[in-house]
Every structure is written in structure tokens, then in C-alpha cells.
Structure 1
Amino acid sequence: MEKELNKLLADLVVEYHKLQSFHWYLKGYHFFDDHKKFEEYYGDIADAVDGVAENMLKLGLKPESTMKGFMALSTIEEAKNKEVTSEEAYEIILKDFKQLLDEVKSVKALAEKDDVYVTSNLMDDYIELFSKAEWMVGEETKKPHFPGQDA
């Protein structure tokens, strides 16, 4: 359980920083709306980071807490230090949220198997978070982002 939770924790931390980078480096037509949305997403991820780490501590497990450790465990790719358009960011975020949804479902299944219901219940919250976010981001990727662009 510790290994799977630490991998999830690492992926959440990297996703947090990626969303923050997109928030900072966002350029383009929908800057105001998307800038605020990315801030909302990284706030949700920050809460999940804290929730996973606290859950691990309650279980007597040791959460990773170093950037070096997170980078060694994470399979989410870091953002680059460069400008990003809404279209580029949403495509990446959609892929990442799908991966995170799969991860929390796997952790839930393991927690259920091991009768760790407090972790299973926490994963339900994240299944709801990433299911809704995946749906919403998926819808966003279908929208035209530039004046005159067809859907």
C-alpha cells in the first residue's frame, strides 16, 4: 500500500506544479478564464496531496516528501518553462487527469482488497474529483478557443 500511495502522491505533486506552471505561463485568447481555472485545479490537487499524505501517516506509512523522491516515483511529465496556450494545456491536463483517475481507482481496489476502508473512502473522493475534472476538461477541449474558429 505504501508504494502505491507514494506513487500517487508523487504524481499529484508533479501535477500540482505543472498546473501552477500553466497558470503562470498561459498565453492567448482565453487567458482570464483559463488562468483562473488552472488555479482552481491546482488548489484541488494541493488538497489531494495533503489528503494522501495525511492518510498515509494515519496508517503508519511514510509519505515521500522530497522533490527528488517525487521525481523518481512520478510518471507524470513535468511542464516546461515556456508559454502555453489553452489548447495545449487542456490536452495535457486531460491526459494527466485520466492517468490520475486510473491511479486512484487502482489504489481504491487495493485498499478494498486489504480492508483499508479509510483509504478506500478517500479514493472515492478523488474518483469523483478526477471523473468530473476529466469530463469538464474533455468538454473544454471541444470548444473553439479563438474568434472565428469552428467547433
Structure 2
Amino acid sequence: MARTRTKNQATILSETMNKQVANFSVLYMKLHHYHWYIKGENFFTLHVKFEELYTEAALHVDTIAERLLALGGTPISTLQGALEMATISEATGDESTQDMVGTLADDLTAICKELTEGITSAEDNDDQPTADLFTSIRASLEKHRWMLKAYLAE
């Protein structure tokens, strides 16, 4: 017997999805900042890695927003809205290379935790496609986080 979605559960799931649209929007800009301003001996390695990550962040923003639209929701679509809703912060502008990599690893940890909560929320709403979407994104972010931590020798 299928569970019935309550308005509150649907609202929570919509808010969860929107939080990730906001997070990936902020992450996208942060990664561009890091990509443009990385300096030093690791420039070539990190310049390419940051580009890979912002390209992936853009895909996640679009995929989550389109899923939210398909469910009748309204995705955040302004920078101000993203900054207000995101749980990660934008670049400060004075990060060292180690700070950039460490902050990204921390951001991915936070987003993975929220995605795990989103998976539970989606499953509670009998929304397996959204749960699967969040699971796929989390798996990718966990791999990137592992690589960033390896770079930092953590």
C-alpha cells in the first residue's frame, strides 16, 4: 500500500531540493573564483580540477532544479536567493591554496550530509527518482571529497 504524501512532507522535500540548488549555485561561483585565482606550484593541477568541479556543479544545479520543477516546485533562481538559502558560504577572496582545497572538502562534507537527509525525505515521500538523484550526486561528491583530502594528505 502506497503512503500518502502530506503537504508538509512535500514542502520539506521542496525546501531540501531548493537548498541544494542554492548550495550548488554558490559552489559554482566559488569554484570559478578558485579556478581564476589559484596561484603557485599547484596551479596546473588545481586549475583543471576546479574547472571539472564547477562544470559538475552546474549540472547538479540544473538537474535538481528541473526535478523540482517537474514536481511542481519553484527553484531558487537568483544569486541573492541562493546566498540567503545556501548552507555553504561564498569565497572570501583571500584563501590560500590549502584553504581553497580544505574549504571545498568541508563544503562537500556538508552537502553530502544534507543529501543524505534529502534521500530520507524523498523516500518518506515515495519519491524514488529524487532519492536516486541525490544518491548519485552524493556518490560523486564523496569521491571528490576523498581526492581533495588526499591532496591535503588528510
SS at match of 1:137: helix
| Contact 2:22–2:76 under 8 Å retained in 1 | yes
Whichever residue aligns with residue 39 of structure 2, its letter is K
Which segments of 5 or more consecutive residues in structure 1 lack a partner in the other structure? 144-151
Give the Cα separation in 1 of the matches to 2:41 and 2:148.
17
1:114, distance to aligned residue in structure 2 (A): 0.8
Task: State whether structure 2 residue 89 is matched by structure 1 residue 74.
Answer: no
| Contact 1:23–1:35 under 8 Å retained in 2 | yes
| Contact 1:19–1:39 under 8 Å retained in 2 | yes
Correspondence for 2:47: 35
Deviation beyond 3 Å, 4+ runs, structure 1: none
| Contact 2:83–2:89 under 8 Å retained in 1 | no
Correspondence for 2:153: 142
Task: State whether structure 2 residue 136 is matched by structure 1 residue 125.
Answer: yes
SS at match of 1:27: coil
| Contact 1:11–1:70 under 8 Å retained in 2 | yes
| Contact 1:11–1:76 under 8 Å retained in 2 | yes
**What percent identity do the matched residue pairs reach?**
32
Correspondence for 1:22: 34
1:33, distance to aligned residue in structure 2 (A): 0.9
| 1:105-116 superposed matches below 5 A | 105-116=116-127
Correspondence for 1:149: none
Whichever residue aligns with residue 110 of structure 1, its letter is S
Would you say how many aligned residue pairs link Structure 1 and Structure 2?
A: 142
| Contact 1:28–1:85 under 8 Å retained in 2 | no
Correspondence for 1:148: none
- In the alignment, which of 54, 79, 93 is matched to residue 104 of structure 2? 93
Give the Cα separation in 1 of the matches to 2:151 and 2:120.
30
Whichever residue aligns with residue 119 of structure 2, its letter is K
- In the TM superposition, what whole-angstrom CA distance separates every residue of 1:13-40 from its partner, at most 9, and x where no partner exists? 1011101100011111110111000000
**TM-score calculated relative to the size of structure 2:** 0.88
Whichever residue aligns with residue 85 of structure 1, its letter is S
1:10, distance to aligned residue in structure 2 (A): 0.5
Which segments of 5 or more consecutive residues in structure 2 lack a partner in the other structure? 1-12
1:81, distance to aligned residue in structure 2 (A): 3.2
Give the Cα separation in 2 of the matches to 1:34 and 1:70.
25
**TM-score calculated relative to the size of structure 1:** 0.90
1:110, distance to aligned residue in structure 2 (A): 0.3
